[in-house]
Amino acid sequence: MLQRNGLVESPTRGKGSPPWFEHPDDPARCTRVPDRDVISKDLLVRILIQAGKSREEYLARLRET
């Protein structure tokens, strides 16, 4: 979902660590996504804030799939 919203997976993180995604215009703005099937709503909100995405943007993209 983050990749469809313009974020890219960071190749600079360590091998075996959870994936990190960064904003292409601002590599300092990045977020780590836990490698789990289910995450809490609170964690999802924190990931969206770190990624610079709104809840509405997320839900609109979710409806597209």
Q: For the segment 5-29, what is each residue's pLDDT rounded down to a tens digit?
A: 778 887 766 666 778 888 878 777 7
CB-based contact 27:20 (threshold 8 Å): no
CATH architecture of 3-64: 2-Layer Sandwich (3.30)
Q: Mean pLDDT in the chain? A: 80
Question: How would you class 18 by CB atoms within 10 Å of its CB: exposed for 0-12, middle for 13-18, buried for 19 or more?
Answer: exposed
Domain ranges of the chain: 3-64
pTM above 0.85, yes or no: no
